[in-house]
């Protein structure tokens, strides 16, 4: 019997109503003897949060939008579930003594403060919310080290890197090969990209994800974020992380070692595997369902990213090199531009233009505190939201 089978781990899912959140609940449902949904939280989708709470009967639920508090409370009045509302409640519930692990699956900057609160309380954090490492990677990794709180990636590429590393020392890593599907516009001519529609951008070829990350994949900002995420999680330099476009999304990433060996993790594109691995790490759990069939696949393809066509990728390397609060400025500008694009207010090509301009206009802080990060985020959002291109 391994550690995991002795007691059920009580899980707090920040963002249970999203794509990662609902798939985390699938993993819990498949392994009821190992995991228990202790806390569920959502931004404003009260209906789904109520449905999840009635099904999983957690200890606590939080609806971040406090105008929906009564709705959720009344719908769960017949069950012994604590109901809270508001952004501050997220920080309070993660630190509960009864929570064994926190799944950070909120999208964007909004997930930062609860993730920090969890690390400070020595909670293991299974991290999907990559934006937190983009904006505050140095602070988050320092806190994880100081408090001995495990920070385990859910992102499929980083899970693949973790699995490929298998505990190898940092000095033995020569390079990380970060794979990218290339998104829906990989083969679209550059001239047509400026006019790409929201509908086209939301059609990811291999993954079904939340709207924001799907647009980030179309601009390849997502891969830029993942480069920064990998840099902090694995302690490698940005220049030692190479993006490899791999349209089939079967090789989820690889590590090239100093002796020339390349170790990769392969599998069908299904986020439930990296989610489950983050919860069971370092153990593996049996999973039902389809298996990778190399004979059926026959061929896999790899190509270099086109950084002229996808300037966001280049901007991320620039932000990583400048460091300080610049990645935070990049993230804030991207969150605004991503939303403006989804709302049909700007063109696809304006996303990179807004990010680039905000990175230039941000007053550089080399070693930002959490307050500096909050302030940079606020200022960039205000400026970027008022932009009319
Ligand atoms: P999503 O939009 O489907 O879900 C986001 C969740 O966060 C929802 O539960 C929502 O209610 C909650 N939320 C949003 N804003 C909030 C706020 N201000 N306060 C509190 N809660 C809030 O997003 P997703 O696709 O599940 O992605 C979540 C995170 O995981 C992102 O950082 C994304 O980059 C990362 N990620 C997602 C996938 C994927 O397959 N979906 C893969 C890798 C990484
Ligand atoms: Mg990913």
The residue whose CA is least distant from atom 5 of ligand 1 is 18
Cis peptide before 282 (omega within 30 of 0): yes
pLDDT at 1: 42
Q: Where are the beta strands (DSSP E) in 211-310?
A: 241-245, 251-257, 262-266
Asked if pLDDT for residue 331 goes beyond 50, the answer is yes
**Residue appearing with tokens 């006019």:** 195
Asked if pLDDT for residue 106 goes beyond 60, the answer is yes
Tell me the per-residue pLDDT of 337-386, one tens digit each, with 9 for 90 and over: 999 999 999 999 999 999 999 999 999 999 999 999 999 999 999 999 98
Total-model pTM: 0.97
Across the range 161-172, mean pLDDT stands at: 95
pLDDT at 389: 53
Compute the distance between CA of residue 91 and CA of residue 311 in angstroms, rounded to an integer.
35
Residue 362 CA, ligand 1 centroid: distance in Å: 26
Asked if pLDDT for residue 64 goes beyond 50, the answer is yes
Q: Is 386 exposed, middle or buried (0-12, 13-18, 19+ CB in 10 A)?
A: exposed
Apex CA 286: angle with CA 281 and CA 287, to 5°?
105
Residue 188 CA, ligand 1 centroid: distance in Å: 27
Mutation test residue for ligand 1: of 89, 209, 214, 275, the one with most atoms within 8 Å of CB: 209
Query: Which ligand sits nearest to residue 204's alpha carbon?
Result: 1
Mean pLDDT for the chain overall: 96
Across the range 198-214, mean pLDDT stands at: 93
Ligand 1 atom nearest the C-alpha of 271 is: 40
Q: Which residues line ligand 1 (CB under 6 A)?
A: 15-21, 42-43, 45, 64, 105-107, 110, 128-131, 155, 207, 209-210, 212-213, 271
Across the range 311-332, mean pLDDT stands at: 98
Across the range 275-301, mean pLDDT stands at: 96
pLDDT at 5: 45
Ligand 1 atom nearest the C-alpha of 222 is: 34
Compute the distance between CA of residue 158 and CA of residue 254 in angstroms, rounded to an integer.
9
Mutation test residue for ligand 1: of 23, 91, 127, 128, the one with most atoms within 8 Å of CB: 128
Asked if pLDDT for residue 2 goes beyond 80, the answer is no
**Residue appearing with tokens 């989610």:** 275
């Amino acid at each position: 019997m391994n550690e995991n089978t002795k007691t059920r781990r009580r899980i707090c899912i920040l963002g249970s109503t999203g794509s990662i959140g609902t798939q985390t609940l699938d993993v819990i449902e498949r392994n009821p003897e190992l995991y228990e949904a202790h806390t569920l939280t959502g931004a404003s989708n009260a209906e789904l949060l109520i449905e999840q709470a009635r099904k999983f009967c957690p200890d606590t639920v939080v609806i971040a939008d406090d105008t929906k508090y009564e709705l959720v409370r009344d719908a769960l009045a017949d069950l012994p579930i604590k109901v809270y509302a508001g952004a501050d409640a997220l920080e309070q519930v993660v630190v509960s003594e009864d929570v064994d692990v926190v799944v950070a699956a909120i999208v964007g900057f909004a997930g930062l403060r609860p993730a920090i609160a969890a690390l400070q309380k020595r909670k293991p954090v299974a991290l999907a919310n990559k934006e937190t490492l983009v904006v505050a990677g140095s602070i988050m990794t320092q806190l994880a080290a100081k408090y001995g709180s495990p920070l385990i990636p859910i992102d499929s590429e980083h899970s693949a890197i973790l699995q490929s590393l298998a505990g190898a020392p940092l000095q033995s890593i020569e390079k990380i090969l970060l794979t990218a599907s290339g998104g829906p516009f990989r083969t679209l001519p550059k001239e047509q990209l400026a006019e790409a529609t929201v509908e086209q951008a939301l059609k990811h070829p291999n993954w079904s994800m939340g709207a924001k990350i799907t647009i980030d994949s179309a601009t390849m900002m997502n891969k830029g974020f993942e480069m920064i995420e990998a840099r902090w999680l694995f302690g490698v330099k940005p220049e030692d992380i190479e993006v490899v476009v791999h349209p089939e999304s079967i090789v989820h990433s690889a590590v090239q070692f100093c002796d020339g060996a390349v170790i990769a993790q392969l599998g069908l594109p299904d986020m439930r595997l990296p989610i489950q691995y983050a919860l069971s790490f370092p153990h593996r759990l049996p999973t039902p369902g389809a298996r990778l069939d190399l004979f059926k696949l026959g061929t896999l393809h790899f190509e270099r990213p086109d950084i002229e066509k996808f300037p966001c990728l280049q901007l991320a390397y620039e932000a990583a090199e400048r460091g300080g609060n610049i990645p935070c400025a990049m993230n804030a500008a991207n969150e605004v531009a991503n939303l403006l694009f989804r709302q049909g207010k700007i063109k696809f090509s304006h996303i990179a233009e807004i990010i680039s301009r905000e990175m230039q206009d941000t007053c550089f802080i080399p070693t930002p505190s959490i307050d500096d990060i909050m302030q940079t985020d606020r200022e960039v959002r205000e400026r970027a939201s008022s932009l009319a291109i």
